[in-house]
Structures are given as structure tokens and as C-alpha cells.
Amino acid sequence: MSEPKKKQLRIIDDPFVAVGPSGVAIRDRLKHLTAEDERVLRLIGEHQGRLASYDLKARCEAGKDHDNDAWAARKRDLTEQSSSRIAGSITKATHDQYGLARRCLLAHIHNLETGIRTLRHRLSLAVGEKGSKRAPGGYRSKSEWFHKSRRLHTLEHRLELARDDWETGRVRVVRGGRRLLNTRHNLDAAQLTEAKWRQRWEAERWFLTADGESGKRYGNETIRVTPDGEVSIKLPAPLAHLANAKHGRYVLVSQVAFAHRGAEWADRISGNRAVAYRIHLDVERGRWYLTASWQKPVVKTIPLEAARAEGMVGSTPTPTISPPTTSTRTATPSATPSGSSTTCPAPHSIVTPRSATPSPSSCTGPSSTASRRSASRTSTSRPRRPARSTAVGNGSGS
């Protein structure tokens, strides 16, 4: 009987230094909104969502012939019905949505080309021919070969249409989501009524987003959030009569308090740095939320060899069990000498440069104090009585 073949393990790539996150987004709920607050938010969302739909339609009709002059003309048309800042946010969102649709179309073309190449290769082989590790073999039966040949013609037709869309700059975009749009035809499967679907559809098509501006008060002029959590919105021109504060602003009764990264957010708005906001409604729960987001500065990464030039020190969550090890450029770990085995308890495994490793004298705090107390209690406690052996003899008398 032949031995089973050993499965070849995949090759692990060389380690590298990963890039950190490029942005931050935090959210809090808008609680205790009055009926008037919700009515004003719905009117603003519907009005600006209608403008965003018109702008997206104009951008898609322009196709590849769009330029900076056309962008400026679209923004001027939107400014008459809203404001300059709201028009800028809408045109920017439209530009991003069109660009995303173009990238998705290109990825779709690449996927079709890959599938067509695979089908052509397998159809060119004899039925039942075995493949290799790098290329698949032929199809198992004539019936499968026939169905795959029909599949090849279908993919070729789709590729022709996709390439035509790419050349002409045509994209297919649905404000509100294509999945939710198709759900309209399958309400029973989605367990939705037409009224509930209509509420979700309208809420997804609202536009209650404002881009941040550095140098402006609290980093945003359209949707402003003060350090105390007061939320005020700059109303568009047709809805200026709904203002309840100065300069055409509407102040909500609800106040926000970001529990996650709240100190970082407060530091940004106190320095008048840009913070973007988005207000949206969760129709299923009937709750309003405010999302704050901002970009983080790009941190230049260094090659791994440069980081390991002077050696690195790695520690584990249980330093008392396994002492820290040092790693050099040759990747040879060595144990830390017994005289310097005292380390700070870490919440997770970390790797830091040797020059940044804290000394034993700097290991202070509640966690290190508790570990020393536990060690002292262990060393002064009475020795436990050994347990009675329960091993059974083998009958040899030994």
C-alpha cells in the first residue's frame, strides 16, 4: 500500500512593517430628539438627497467628457438651492461614487478575462485529461464540456458589453444601494412590507453629510458640534425659515458624547481641525446617529531591516514563565540574563527596539505592584502536603 502524499505547505512571505490606519470614525446616538427635530432632519435629508441625485445623474451623463469647468458649473447650480459648502460636499461625494463605480467596472473586466482564459484552456484539452499543479485539466465529461462552452460564449458577451462601457465612460450606480433596490421585488423573502421598504429606501437616499474644514470653528461650518456636545446644522437656503438660532442654523435638543476616542475628537475641534460629520437614521430601530470622522497623518514606515539594525526585544503576556528574548539582524533569539529578567507586565505581545525597552526600575504601577505582592505571598506561604499517589503497580513487585 502506497504512502499518502504529503500536502505541500504554502510559502510564507517575508515579514514587513505594516502601515497604520489612514482615518478614524466614531459614532454616537442622538437621543431625546423632539418631533420637530426629526421633522427638520427629514426635510434636510430629502432636500439635499434630491440635489445629490440630480448631480449624480449629470455626472454620469457627462461620462469621460467631464472636466473642471463642468464640475464648477455643477457646483454653481447646486449652490443656488443650498449653500457653497453643501454643494461642495455633494459634488465631492458624486465624484467619489463615480470613481468607485469605474474601479469596480475595471475589476469586473479583469475577472471576466481571467474566467475566459481558464475556460478556453480547459476546453482546448481532451475530455478527462489530468491537470498539473499550475494548470487545471480537461473537463470530466462531454456534457460538462458542452455546458462550459455555452458559459464561455456568455462571458465573452458580457466582456464585450463591459469593455464598451469602459470606453464610453458609462457606469451603473444606484443611490440607496442596488441590493435594497432588488429587495423591492422580493418583499416576502426579506420579510418586509412595502411601507417599511419605502422608509428604508428613502432614508438611504438622504444626504446629511458635511465635510470638515481646517481653520473653521470646531472644524466644520455646516454641521457644528461644540465641546459640550451641542449639535447645530446650517440650513440650506429653501429651508432657512426653519432656523431656531442665529445665522440660519438649527440647534438640536440632543447632545452627543463620544465614548470612544472622545479625547482625540475634543482635541481636534478645540484646535479647529477638520472633522467630517454624517447624520443617518436606523429605520429598523428608529434611532438617529451622528458619525464623526477625520483623516490621520501618513506615517512613513521604515524597512524591517532598518528597524532590526540595532536589535529588538520581544515580550509575552506571561513574562514570569518565559523571559523576554532579544533578536538581532541574524534573527537568532537569545534569552535575557537572569540578572535582568524582571519585565513589565504587557497586555499583549509587543516588539520594541532595544533602546526603547524600559529598565526594571521603571516598571511601576498597580499591575507591577500586584505581581510583586503575589510573589511575596507565594514565597512565604506554607508548603502544601503532597498528594497521595494513585498509580497502580504492574504486578512485578517492584
CA 322 to CA 318: how far, in whole Å? Answer: 7
Report residue 322 as a C-alpha cell.
Answer: 518565559
CA 222 to CA 278: how far, in whole Å? Answer: 11
Interior angle at CA 213, CA 209 and CA 214, nearest 5: 150
Q: pLDDT at position 316, please?
A: 62
Q: pLDDT at position 328, please?
A: 54
Report residue 206 as a C-alpha cell.
Answer: 438622504
**Do residues 222 and 236 make contact, with C-beta atoms less than 8 angstroms apart?**
no
Q: pLDDT at position 16, please?
A: 79
Q: pLDDT at position 351, please?
A: 41
pLDDT one-digit tens code per residue, 56-95: 999 999 988 888 899 999 999 999 999 999 999 999 999 9
Amino acid at 225: V
CA torsion sign for 48, 52, 54, 55 is positive
Please list the ranges in the chain whose pLDDT falls under 70: 1-5, 313-398
CA 9 to CA 319: how far, in whole Å? Answer: 32
**Do residues 277 and 258 make contact, with C-beta atoms less than 8 angstroms apart?**
no
CA 223 to CA 210: how far, in whole Å? Answer: 6
Q: pLDDT at position 353, please?
A: 42
Neighbouring residues of 383: CB distance < 8 A, sequence distance ≥ 6: none
pLDDT one-digit tens code per residue, 184-212: 999 999 999 999 999 999 999 999 999 99
Q: pLDDT at position 297, please?
A: 85
CA 63 to CA 57: how far, in whole Å? Answer: 10
Q: How many CB atoms lie under 10 A from the CB of residue 130?
A: 8
Q: Write the burial class of residue 192 (CB in 10 Å: 0-12 exposed, 13-18 middle, 19+ buried).
A: middle
Q: pLDDT at position 306, please?
A: 80
Q: pLDDT at position 291, please?
A: 96
Q: pLDDT at position 11, please?
A: 82
Q: Write the burial class of residue 218 (CB in 10 Å: 0-12 exposed, 13-18 middle, 19+ buried).
A: buried
CA torsion sign for 52, 53, 57, 60 is positive
